[in-house]
Amino acid sequence: MSEINVVPYIDVMLVLLVIFMATAPMLMQGVEIALPQADSEPLPDAQREDPMIVSVRADGSIWVNFGAPESATDPGAGTRVSPGALTEQATQIVRTRPDLPVFVRADTALAYGRVIEVMSILQRAGVANVGLVTDPVDLSRLTE
Protein backbone atom coordinates (compact mmCIF):
# COMPACT_ATOMS: atom_id res chain seq x y z
CA MET A 1 0.00 0.00 0.00
CA SER A 2 1.46 3.36 -0.96
CA GLU A 3 1.29 6.48 1.17
CA ILE A 4 0.49 10.00 0.02
CA ASN A 5 3.47 12.35 -0.01
CA VAL A 6 2.34 15.48 1.90
CA VAL A 7 5.60 17.46 1.57
CA PRO A 8 4.43 19.38 -1.55
CA TYR A 9 1.21 20.35 0.25
CA ILE A 10 3.20 21.67 3.20
CA ASP A 11 5.35 23.73 0.81
CA VAL A 12 2.26 25.27 -0.75
CA MET A 13 0.76 26.02 2.66
CA LEU A 14 3.97 27.77 3.80
CA VAL A 15 3.98 29.91 0.65
CA LEU A 16 0.33 30.85 1.24
CA LEU A 17 1.11 31.67 4.87
CA VAL A 18 3.91 34.04 3.81
CA ILE A 19 1.63 35.70 1.24
CA PHE A 20 -1.16 36.22 3.79
CA MET A 21 1.27 37.57 6.37
CA ALA A 22 2.69 40.04 3.84
CA THR A 23 -0.72 41.29 2.68
CA ALA A 24 -2.48 41.45 6.07
CA PRO A 25 -1.09 44.90 7.02
CA MET A 26 -2.36 46.28 3.71
CA LEU A 27 -5.97 45.41 4.55
CA MET A 28 -6.47 48.24 7.04
CA GLN A 29 -8.88 50.95 5.88
CA GLY A 30 -8.89 54.67 6.36
CA VAL A 31 -6.94 57.83 5.72
CA GLU A 32 -3.45 58.57 6.99
CA ILE A 33 -3.70 61.37 9.55
CA ALA A 34 -1.38 62.57 12.32
CA LEU A 35 -3.90 62.75 15.17
CA PRO A 36 -3.53 65.13 18.10
CA GLN A 37 -2.82 63.54 21.46
CA ALA A 38 -5.09 63.74 24.49
CA ASP A 39 -5.22 62.11 27.90
CA SER A 40 -8.75 60.69 27.72
CA GLU A 41 -10.42 57.36 28.32
CA PRO A 42 -11.33 55.15 25.34
CA LEU A 43 -15.02 54.82 24.52
CA PRO A 44 -16.93 51.83 25.85
CA ASP A 45 -17.54 49.11 23.26
CA ALA A 46 -21.28 49.87 23.23
CA GLN A 47 -20.61 53.34 21.78
CA ARG A 48 -18.17 52.11 19.13
CA GLU A 49 -20.55 50.10 16.93
CA ASP A 50 -19.97 50.94 13.25
CA PRO A 51 -19.58 54.73 13.53
CA MET A 52 -19.33 57.13 10.62
CA ILE A 53 -15.74 58.40 10.50
CA VAL A 54 -15.06 61.78 8.90
CA SER A 55 -11.32 62.27 8.34
CA VAL A 56 -9.85 65.64 7.44
CA ARG A 57 -6.31 65.46 6.07
CA ALA A 58 -3.63 68.13 6.40
CA ASP A 59 -4.50 69.43 2.90
CA GLY A 60 -8.11 70.01 4.02
CA SER A 61 -9.62 67.14 2.01
CA ILE A 62 -12.56 65.34 3.62
CA TRP A 63 -12.83 61.54 3.61
CA VAL A 64 -15.72 59.40 4.87
CA ASN A 65 -15.38 55.84 6.14
CA PHE A 66 -17.55 53.47 8.19
CA GLY A 67 -16.10 51.19 10.86
CA ALA A 68 -13.91 51.27 13.96
CA PRO A 69 -11.74 54.41 14.38
CA GLU A 70 -8.61 52.30 14.85
CA SER A 71 -9.11 50.80 11.41
CA ALA A 72 -8.96 54.15 9.67
CA THR A 73 -5.22 54.38 9.08
CA ASP A 74 -4.50 53.32 5.50
CA PRO A 75 -4.07 56.22 3.05
CA GLY A 76 -6.39 56.10 0.08
CA ALA A 77 -9.11 54.05 1.72
CA GLY A 78 -12.52 55.54 2.39
CA THR A 79 -14.31 57.95 0.07
CA ARG A 80 -13.20 61.49 -0.63
CA VAL A 81 -16.18 63.86 -0.49
CA SER A 82 -16.90 67.54 -0.97
CA PRO A 83 -18.51 69.56 1.84
CA GLY A 84 -21.86 69.36 -0.02
CA ALA A 85 -21.61 65.59 -0.38
CA LEU A 86 -20.73 65.31 3.32
CA THR A 87 -23.92 67.22 4.16
CA GLU A 88 -25.99 64.88 1.97
CA GLN A 89 -24.41 61.71 3.42
CA ALA A 90 -24.77 62.90 7.01
CA THR A 91 -28.41 63.91 6.43
CA GLN A 92 -29.21 60.47 4.99
CA ILE A 93 -27.46 58.74 7.89
CA VAL A 94 -29.39 60.82 10.45
CA ARG A 95 -32.69 59.85 8.78
CA THR A 96 -31.96 56.13 8.94
CA ARG A 97 -29.91 55.94 12.16
CA PRO A 98 -30.29 59.08 14.28
CA ASP A 99 -28.26 57.56 17.13
CA LEU A 100 -25.22 56.73 14.95
CA PRO A 101 -22.04 58.28 16.38
CA VAL A 102 -19.87 60.32 14.04
CA PHE A 103 -16.15 60.59 14.78
CA VAL A 104 -14.04 63.40 13.32
CA ARG A 105 -10.37 62.58 12.75
CA ALA A 106 -8.44 65.76 12.00
CA ASP A 107 -4.73 66.02 11.24
CA THR A 108 -2.64 68.01 13.74
CA ALA A 109 -1.32 70.21 10.91
CA LEU A 110 -4.86 71.21 9.94
CA ALA A 111 -6.14 74.70 10.75
CA TYR A 112 -8.61 74.75 13.63
CA GLY A 113 -11.13 76.62 11.47
CA ARG A 114 -11.34 73.73 9.00
CA VAL A 115 -12.21 71.31 11.83
CA ILE A 116 -14.96 73.69 12.97
CA GLU A 117 -16.29 73.90 9.37
CA VAL A 118 -16.60 70.11 9.20
CA MET A 119 -18.26 69.93 12.61
CA SER A 120 -20.68 72.71 11.55
CA ILE A 121 -21.57 70.76 8.41
CA LEU A 122 -22.37 67.73 10.57
CA GLN A 123 -24.41 69.83 13.00
CA ARG A 124 -26.46 71.40 10.18
CA ALA A 125 -27.12 67.89 8.84
CA GLY A 126 -28.65 66.98 12.20
CA VAL A 127 -25.88 64.82 13.65
CA ALA A 128 -26.27 64.93 17.43
CA ASN A 129 -23.42 62.65 18.50
CA VAL A 130 -20.04 63.96 17.25
CA GLY A 131 -16.73 62.92 18.79
CA LEU A 132 -13.12 63.86 18.11
CA VAL A 133 -10.59 61.06 17.67
CA THR A 134 -7.17 61.50 19.29
CA ASP A 135 -4.11 59.39 20.01
CA PRO A 136 -3.08 58.70 23.61
CA VAL A 137 -0.58 61.15 25.12
CA ASP A 138 3.03 59.97 24.95
CA LEU A 139 4.17 60.81 28.48
CA SER A 140 7.83 60.34 27.55
CA ARG A 141 7.62 63.36 25.20
CA LEU A 142 6.26 65.70 27.86
CA THR A 143 8.78 67.87 29.68
CA GLU A 144 8.42 69.37 33.12
Cβ within 8 Å of residue 119, ≥6 positions away: 104, 130
pLDDT, residue 118, reads 92
Can you tell me the distance from the alpha carbon of 67 to that of 49, in angstroms, rounded to the nearest whole number? 8
| 13-22, 49-58, 111-120, range with the lowest pLDDT | 49-58
User: To the nearest whole number, what is the mean pLDDT of the chain?
Assistant: 79
Report pLDDT for 79: 85
pTM of the complete model: 0.61
- H or E element that contains 144: none
Higher pLDDT, 1 or 62: 62
Q: Give percent of the chain with pLDDT exceeding 70.
A: 69
Tens digits of per-residue pLDDT, 68-125? Answer: 555 445 544 678 899 999 999 999 988 988 888 888 888 888 888 898 899 999 999 9
Helices 83-96, 112-124: crossing angle, 10 deg rounding: 40
Q: In what order do the strands lie in the sheet with 130-132?
A: 79-81, 62-66, 52-56, 102-106, 130-132
Nearest Cα to Cα of residue 129 among 139, 137, 138, 119: 119
User: What's the pLDDT score for residue 26?
Assistant: 63
Res 134 pLDDT > 80: no
In CATH, the architecture of 29-136 is: 2-Layer Sandwich (3.30)
pLDDT at 94: 87
105/34 Cα distance (integer angstroms): 9
